[in-house]
Amino acid sequence: MGTQFMTLDGNEAVARIAYKLNEVIAIYPITPSSAMGEWSDEWAASDMPNLWGTIPKVVEMQSEAGAAGTVHGALQAGSLTTTFTASQGLLLMIPNMYKIAGELTAAVFHVAARSLAAQGLSIFGDHSDVMQVRSTGWGLLSSASVQEAHDFALIAQAATLKARVPFIHFFDGFRTSHEVARIQLLDDDDMRAMMDDELIFAHHRRGLSPEHPFIRGTAQNPDVYFQARETVNPFYNACPDIVQAAMDQFAGLTGRQYHLYEYYGAPDAERVIVLMGSGCETAQETANYLNAQGGKVGVLKVRLYRPFDAERFVNALPKTVRSIAIMDRTKEPGGAGEPMYVDAITALHESWQGAQFPVVVGGRYGLSSKEFTPAMVMAIFDNLAEDKPRNHFTVGITDDVGFTSLAVDNSFSIEPDSVVRALFYGLGADGTVGANKNSIKIIGENTPNYAQGYFVYDSKKSGSMTVSHLRFGPEPIRAPYLITRANFIACHQPTFLDRFDMLSDAVPGGVFLLNTVFGPNEVWSTLPRDVQEQIIDRQLRFYVIDALKVARESGMGGRINTVMQVCFFAISGVLPREDAINAIKHSIEKTYGRKGEEVVAMNLKAVDNTLENLHVVQVPAFVSSAVEMIPPVPATAPAFVQGVLGTMIARHGDIIPVSAFPIDGTYPSGTTQYEKRNLATEIPVWDPEVCIQCGKCAMVCPHAVIRIKAYEPAALEGASDSFKHVPTRDHEWAGMEYTIQVAPEDCTGCGICVDVCPARNKSMLNLKALNMAPQPPIREQEVVNWDFFLGLPETDRLNIKTTSIRQQQAQQPLFEFSGACAGCGETPYIKLVTQLFGDRTVIANATGCSSIYGGNLPTTPYTSNADGRGPAWANSLFEDNAEFGYGMRVALDKQAEQAVELLKALEGDIGGVLTHALLEADQRDEAGIHEQRERVALLKEKLVDMASPEAKRLAELADALIKRDVWIIGGDGWAYDIGFGGLDHVLASGRNVNVLVLDTEVYSNTGGQMSKSTPRSAVAKFAAGGKPLAKKDLGLIAMTYGNVYVARVAMGAKDEQTLRAFIEAEAYDGPSLIIAYSHCIAHGIDMRTALKNQKAAVDTGQWLLYRYNPERETRGENPLMLDSRAPKLPLRDYLQMENRFKMLELTNPDSAASLFEQAQQDVTTRWALYDYLASRPFGPNGSGQGA
Amino acid sequence: MDLTTTYLGYTLRSPIVASASPLSETVDGIRRLEDAGAGAVVMFSLFEEQLRLEQLSLNHHMNFGTESYSEALSYFPEPQEFKTSSAKYLELISKAKAHVSIPIIASLNGTTPGNWVKYARQIEHAGADGLELNLYSIPTDPDLSGAQIEQMDIDTVSAVCSAVGIPVAVKLSPFFSNMANMAKRFDEAGARALVLFNRFYQPDIDLETLEVKPNILLSTPQAQRLPMRWIAILFGHIQADMAATGGIHGGLDAAKMLLAGATVTMMASALLRHGSGHIATAERELIDWMETHEYTSVTQMRGALSQRHAEDPAAYERAQYMKALTYYKAVQR
């Protein structure tokens, strides 16, 4: 029996078993299951063997559908094979799952169960996905905790080999997959004991082999399909016994006994809750608590949901039960009830032997990781105590529309005093979460205590807030819900203090630790009034530390993790102080040792420097502060923003009732402007005297916080003295004033604008036309100036030459203040689209980074202009985005066609002049579109007075006569991999769509997994050993169609070429594809100077710039224009700039040397090919003959 | 012709030694230098500051942006092991020792007293035959006196020499108030050889981009005059061997240095320009010169034109006004 304890999360706990028990692992990233694939890839890259001494073959596929196909094939060839997935990924596997089960194939898929995208996408946990595969013929085995997930991974594998029924082993996404807990590890002997070699050999022997050929997968006809489908029944009948036998064998080995349907609670319980997954833990603990007080309640945990063993299920219930609640963590709109409720009703109907048939009700809970607390369990038991318990109820929300929700008394708590509960509020990436994970390990591995950690992250990628929930106690911790009664609360980021209520979760006499620049004698007066009140009322012990100062003095920069960790141990008393310090130091050496002694040294220094800077604050008896909490949105925001979005921003979204929400997922545009996040410690300040008004700063600004306007001098009336303006330099704008204004509260402080600025102060060459300066001293003044700037009229679009960056950048961006990373390389391209074409664009956005910063609540960045026009945006899925956008194009074209038909039919009533002008409008430029809009307005006026059905229809469709752009936007994971088939089809369709591929060369949104766009030699997740193959040339593939406009751009290398490509692509009346180099945090680069990386990529030939315009072909010109020159620098100069390449030299120098050389060869070959294609003579009609 | 010489206690087949350069970054490169006839190879320098930055940079990029956003808790796989530059350097020493028979001399540039010693020990442990301390630093603190800086250098050399058993050479700069005194003090501190002189790469201003840029210039033969003067002056006054480096581009340059008193002559720029095979060319030139001038061994040559043995010892001290001096002497006659 394994005796080793370890603290790890659910994903790792499962992957450790799955890796050991399989020979082939097909992977594809999807949250929250990606980490299982990442672990497998990393272990394979470091040559870790499986149980049988061989290294499993880990292969990444282009989609979950591809992974499922690969798994099916590998199983058919006789290998032990697995995969990991969730949510839409599991849905993509369904066709193969039917096949695998139909062929009675032993296999286990491990699923971190997650919501499905419906009215909105959610990455969080529930059972919506696994419930969709219940008819595939796969077993469904549910684990409820990290320990169970580890154990069931083995039990499922053992059972499937014997039963020949494939299994989905699932556990709750995030709640279990990401919870860090102390568990008892299974060792190789445990696994070996559970794996029957004969069954494995049998599995191997069932594989395809020319040595004993057979055919499997025949096509069957009406005469036999039905009977053949029924042949599997004995296997399903036998399966529950086999699983229970495996559980019993497992219990013999480990002492941990599981049952398919496991009852906990009073033997004579009258009220019972039935459920699956992590909620079981909460329900069990609550039942224990209630029974200890004389209650008669119980909980039935469902482990085996398919094949459903009705008899065992019913027999597990106490015969005394009077009322039962079947809780489903999913929703099946329109159904007779949710799936497990329906199953349970059937089972009880078929098998109940008791005297009185119990009342059975169904309820929904916990969708998208919605909290499921003891108070909610209590509410369910209370409901069951009613004479007529409410059926089809919900718990955990306030449903004021369907009135399904149960009332919950949130003051009910069962948290025992023996458990230390700590909350930590950190700034994303400040190291808080990492330090807390480390603390859990220290406690879990150095004391007999059990430990649990769960981490709540923000939906923004920059400047986000993290909340760590840590529990430590002498007994196993069964509390998969957030902490609301904390003994210890730490605020690691002082700017959060006046924006979020942190102390309402503090227990009386608890500890509050604040990281602040203010010392123990000064801090009190800086606290908001509410915070002072809470500290006094709850008699909190209050400590302060200037962690940033300690971190900086220790060489740690802004990472305060180690400092705050030491404070926690010093104050909390979880461990004796000396022991804790020693354990932290030991852990530092273990964690950072392989990255070098410098890193270890600075962390150790931080440990030593912390305690002398940690101070207790003498709390005054009275509240004295005049500082108020900052409202989440300004009072000027629209009602919906105030009431709904503002509540979400304040982190109180859980209390918003159903009635407040849009019914169909439709939200207003342009709401990021109300969420003033004040992330930047420094912001750019414009020096108009130095500025050459080139517009580059505004162009590259990822968050659209640098704006340009040229306007009449008279508009300056009322400007403050600090509002900067100078006469325009552009002679076409002579007589106008010019301003570059920064949005001080929306800027993330990335500094990329300063880096790109070409204008330098002649006497101080370290200064430019934009220079970073501390934000707080100028915030107030610049807020006033920003508001004044917004009030200035927009530069007339008809007076802007879009081919010149300096003028074009005066166009208003209709994409602003997104939640993208500071310095993001994607967003400038999207912003450019919205500036150039936003008022006439619909956007189909693939799931990924761009859909998250583009569409994640609470606030979203796509906005509209003063006329109310702006991009209309929608996200369908990850894999279908090209088709999604194509559908929009087809519909818009059809609508235009209908409008034209009606217009022609109504010409007599409308008038020939207007009709012909509308029909023959040239809308190739801004002026033409403007005129058409005016004509359409006129048309609508005329139609108002016309009563015919045709006229009414035309009034509805008249806008379709105005040019509409369709932009299909997504990342390389979509375009190169999962969506490539659709993209290929759409490009081949000839339709006028514009495809923008934001090419970061990895799956950025899920943490940097390899795609087919990843360049050779780059280290990425799923390519821990460096990518051995060259990047796919998507542009070249598209060019082979001949009628697709293709451009490859890199804004940081040649912004003029980028601008030209976007204008040409939009103008081209056919499909266009722009592949845009997008630097990314996942490259391991300095984001502030990332444009230099783009330039280096082009200068070394790693990234070619070109435009392929089929229109040139019709003029007898070569359609391909190379916009970059022959490589002038060795590729190594570029590779050395990025950690993704450098890492390989540090992990596998020999492989790096070889792959770098091959990558250089790629450059040479690619240049030769493109140089040939671009320079070959080209005759008329594409004949390829010299003219 | 007897080209043998002794350096750091080793007998070398030739006085032409490959000094620190990218040519010694691989085992193959080191083998090529041996094949071309190098008497020994000084490996490229291990810079402590570079190691520090490399570790901090790696740590920064592995951590940057992590644990912030729920779908991407990190951006890179976490390898089980990193091979830092120091580990790779030590591995290269071991591999080189296994593949060549000439002495392998490692080169180290430290920044902190403890790490000088620590890395020196690691280098010894990896099997290096000798260690060259590359005393390269640009003191910019106006409150630090020349004497303090000199003492720091001496302390470093003392610490390393007492910590390792392999012979230690010191590559030093000419920018001391009294070069002779410093040479003597390094000698006393335990240095078995002085390498004269370290060449400092000076930054340049790019007039187009208006940026300060490193601009590595390969040495020219003119650079040899400074080390030649000091080798000649120091010859016979210190016990340590003297290695001449800087501006030695061929056999004739080597001959001059040997005559001045050098034990070995080191080449880097010429090898970078012409390839490792240039060592053989230089050796041929040296032999030709020796034959022409009827020298039979390097030992015979060494120091023959040092200040001690030169017909006009003052020539090494008064080069600036030698022409005037010569004229005066002529008039006097």
- Using a CB-CB cut-off of 8 Å, the residues of chain A touching B65 are 428-429, 461, 821, 1081
Q: B327 pLDDT band (50/70/90 cuts)?
A: low
pLDDT at residue A204 is higher than 60: yes
The number of C-beta contacts closer than 8 angstroms across A and B is 146
- Look at strands A271-275 and A297-302 and give their pairing: parallel
For the beta carbon of residue A119, count every other beta carbon within 10 angstroms: 11
Give the pLDDT confidence of A513-559 residue by residue, as tens digits. Answer: 999 999 999 999 999 999 999 999 999 999 999 999 999 999 888 88
Give the H or E element holding residue A787.
helix A776-791
User: Are B77 and A1149 within 8 A, CB to CB?
Assistant: no
**Active-site pick, A1005, A1006, A1100, A1118:** A1005
Give residue-wise pLDDT tens across range A413-464. Answer: 999 999 999 999 998 888 899 999 999 998 888 888 999 999 999 888 877 8
Average pLDDT over residues A159-178: 98
Distance from the B25 Cα atom to the nearest Cα atom in chain A, whole angstroms: 12
Please indicate if any CB of chain A lies within 8 Å of the CB of B181: no
- Say yes or no for a CB contact (<8 Å) between B75 and A1008: yes
Nearest CA in chain A to B66: A429
pLDDT at B322: 54
Q: Which residue of A has its CA nearest to B50?
A: A598
Contacts of B68 in chain A (CB under 8 A): 428-429, 433, 457-458, 461, 464, 466
Average pLDDT value for residue range A986-1003: 98
Chain A interface includes B212 (CB < 8 A) = no
A470-495 CB burial, b ≥16 within 10 A, e <16: bbbbeeebbbbbebbebbbbbbbbbb
In the residue annotation, A436 being an active-site residue is answered as: no
Nearest beta carbon to residue A1147 from set B63, B66, B81: B81
Q: Measure the CA–CA gap between A998 and A1078, rounded to whole angstroms.
A: 6
- From chain A, the residues in CB contact with B81 under 8 A are 46, 594, 1147
The three state secondary structure string of A38-103 is HHHHHHHHCCCCCCCCCCCEEEECCCHHHHHHHHHHHHHCCCCEEEEECHHHHHHHHHHHHHHHHC
Give the nearest chain A residue to B86 (CA atoms): A596
- How far the first Cα of chain B sits from its last, in Å, is 41
Q: What is the pLDDT of residues A873-887, one digit of tens each?
A: 999 999 999 999 999
Query: Is residue B209 less than 8 Å (CB to CB) from chain A?
Result: no
Q: In this complex, is the C-beta atom of B62 within 8 Å of any C-beta atom belonging to chain A?
A: yes
Instruction: For residue B313, name the pLDDT band (cuts at 50, 70, 90).
Output: confident
**Cβ–Cβ contact A428 with B under 8 A:** yes
In the prediction, which pLDDT does A533 show? 97
Q: What is the pLDDT of residue A773?
A: 97
Cβ distance A429 to B81 less than 8 Å, yes or no, reads no
* A785 is annotated as an active-site residue: no
**CA A810 to chain centroid:** 32
HEC readout, chain B? CECCEEECCEEECCCEEECCCHHHCCHHHHHHHHHCCCCCEEEEEEEHHHHHHHHHHHHHHHHCCCCCECCECCCCCCCCCCCCHHHHHHHHHHHHHHHCCCCEEEEEECCCHHHHHHHHHHHHHHCCCEEEEECCCCCCCCCCCHHHHHHHHHHHHHHHHHHCCCCEEEEECCCCCCHHHHHHHHHHHCCCEEEECCCCCCEEEECCCCEEEECCCCCCHHHHHHHHHHHHHHCCCCCCEEEEECCCCCHHHHHHHHHHCCCEEEECHHHHHHCCCHHHHHHHHHHHHHHHCCCCEHHHHCCCCCCCCCCCHHHHCCHHHHHHHHHHHHHHC
Chain centre to alpha carbon of residue A439 = 26
Q: A1024: which chain B residues are within 8 Å (Cβ-Cβ)?
A: 77, 79
Q: Quick check: A497 contacting B, CB < 8 Å? A: no
Whether the CB-CB separation of B45 and B108 falls below 8 Å is answered with yes
Any CB–CB contact under 8 A between A1037 and chain B?
Answer: no
Interchain pair A1139, B76: CB under 8 A = yes
Report how far residue B76's alpha carbon sits from residue A411's, in angstroms, rounded to the nearest whole number.
43
CB A328 within 8 A of CB A364: yes
Residue B83 and residue B89: Cα distance in Å, rounded?
10
Which amino acid belongs to residue A113?
A
C-alpha to C-alpha distance for A598 and A592, rounded to whole angstroms? 9
Mean pLDDT of chain A: 96
Q: Judging by DSSP bridges, how do beta strands A541-545 and A615-617 pair with one another?
A: antiparallel
Nearest to B69 among A458, A592, A1142 (CB): A458
Q: Do A429 and B55 touch (CB under 8 A)?
A: no
Reduced to 3 states, what is the DSSP secondary structure of residue A524?
A: helix
Q: How do residues A70-90 score in pLDDT, each as one tens digit?
A: 999 999 999 999 999 999 999
Residues of A in contact with B75 (CB under 8 A): 1007-1008, 1021, 1081-1082, 1084
Domain boundaries, chain B: 5-304
Percentage of the residues of chain A whose pLDDT score is greater than 70: 99
Q: Decide: A528 and A631 in contact? Cβ < 8 Å.
A: no
Inform me whether the C-beta atom of residue B78 falls under 8 Å from chain A C-beta atoms: yes
Q: Any chain A CB within 8 A of the CB of B67?
A: yes
pLDDT digits (tens, 9 = 90+) for A1094-1140: 999 999 999 999 999 999 998 889 999 999 999 999 999 999 999 99
Across the interface, do A1146 and B82 touch by the CB < 8 Å criterion?
Answer: yes
Cβ contacts of A1005 on chain B, cutoff 8 Å: 71-72
Non-local CB neighbours of A254 within 8 Å, separated by 6+ positions: A1, A2, A151, A184, A186, A190
Q: Is A371 a catalytic residue?
A: no
Torsion of CA A840, A844, A848, A853, to 10 degrees: 30
pLDDT tens-digit readout, A646-683:
999 999 999 999 999 999 999 999 999 999 999 999 99
Residue showing tokens 């030593």: A608
Residues of B in contact with A1149 (CB under 8 A): 83, 88
Tell me if B67 and A466 make a contact (CB, 8 A cut-off). Answer: yes
Q: What residues in A contact B70, CB-CB < 8 Å?
A: 31-32, 123, 174, 178, 457-459
CB contact under 8 A, B73 and A1007: yes
More confident of the two residues B331 and A922 = A922
pLDDT at residue B328 in the model: 56
Is the torsion defined by CA of A457, A458, A464, A466 positive or negative?
Answer: negative
CB-nearest partner of A434 from B67, B71, B80: B67
The catalytic position among A11, A31, A383, A802 is A31
User: Do residues A159 and A139 touch, judged by C-beta distance below 8 A?
Assistant: yes
Distance from CA of A1086 to the nearest CA of B (A): 9
B84 HSE (CA, 13 A, CB side): 22
A64 and A1046 Cβ atoms separated by less than 8 Å? no
Q: Which residue has the higher pLDDT, B208 or A966?
A: A966
Rounded CA-CA distance A49/A574 in Å is 38
Query: Which segment of A258-262, A1039-1043, A1081-1085, B138-142 scores lowest on mean pLDDT?
Result: B138-142
Is the predicted pLDDT of residue A1186 greater than 50, yes or no? no
Averaged over A1073-1098, what is the pLDDT?
98
Distance from the Cα of B152 to chain A's closest Cα (Å) equals: 22
pLDDT of residue A462: 79
- Residue A466 annotated among the catalytic residues of the structure: no
pLDDT at A1185: 47
Cβ–Cβ of B55/A599 closer than 8 Å? yes
Average pLDDT of span A972-985: 98
Domains of chain A, CATH where assigned: 5-213+225-253 (3.40.50.970), 261-395 (3.40.50.920), 422-617 (3.40.920.10), 632-668 (4.10.780.10), 678-811 (3.30.70.20), 883-961 (no CATH), 1001-1182 (3.40.50.970)
The class of domain B5-304 in CATH terms is alpha beta
Write down the pLDDT at residue A1187: 37
B66 touches chain A (CB under 8 A): yes
Q: Does B22 touch chain A (CB under 8 A)?
A: no
Residues of A in contact with B61 (CB under 8 A): 1084-1085, 1139
pLDDT per residue as tens digits for the range A804-832: 999 999 999 999 999 999 999 999 999 99
Strand A506-515 relative to strand A541-545: parallel, antiparallel, unpaired?
A: parallel
Mean pLDDT of A495-521: 95
Q: To the nearest whole number, what is the mean pLDDT of chain B?
A: 90
Q: Which of residues 111-130 of A touch B (CB under 8 A)?
A: 123
Tell if the CB–CB gap between B59 and A595 is shorter than 8 Å.
yes
For the ranges A164-178, A359-373, A490-504, the lowest mean pLDDT is seen at A490-504
Q: How far is Cα A1117 from Cα A586, in angstroms, rounded to an integer?
A: 69
Calculate the alpha carbon distances from B180 to A162, A563, A840, B236 in Å.
86, 50, 80, 12
Is the CB of A429 less than 8 angstroms away from the CB of B58? no
In chain B, the largest separation of any two C-alpha atoms, in whole Å, equals 93
pTM to 2 decimals?
Answer: 0.94
pLDDT band with cut points at 50, 70 and 90 for residue A1183: low
B208 to chain A, any CB pair closer than 8 A? The answer is: no
Residues sharing a CB contact under 8 Å with residue A734, sequence separation 6 or more, in sequence order? A728
In a mutational test of the B interface, the residue from A1146, A1150, A1154 whose CB has the highest number of chain B CBs within 10 Å is A1146
Catalytic residue among A23, A60, A64, A1001: A64
For A849, which residue in chain B has the nearest alpha carbon? Answer: B71
pLDDT of residue B213: 86
- How many angstroms separate the CA of residue A1136 from the nearest CA in chain B? 11
Distances (CA, A) of B325 to A439, A617, B312: 79, 81, 12
Rounded to whole angstroms, the Cα distance separating A305 from A1002 reads 37
Angle, CA A1008 vertex, CA A1002 and CA A1011 arms, to 5° = 30
Q: How far apart are CA B97 and CA A688, in angstroms?
A: 62
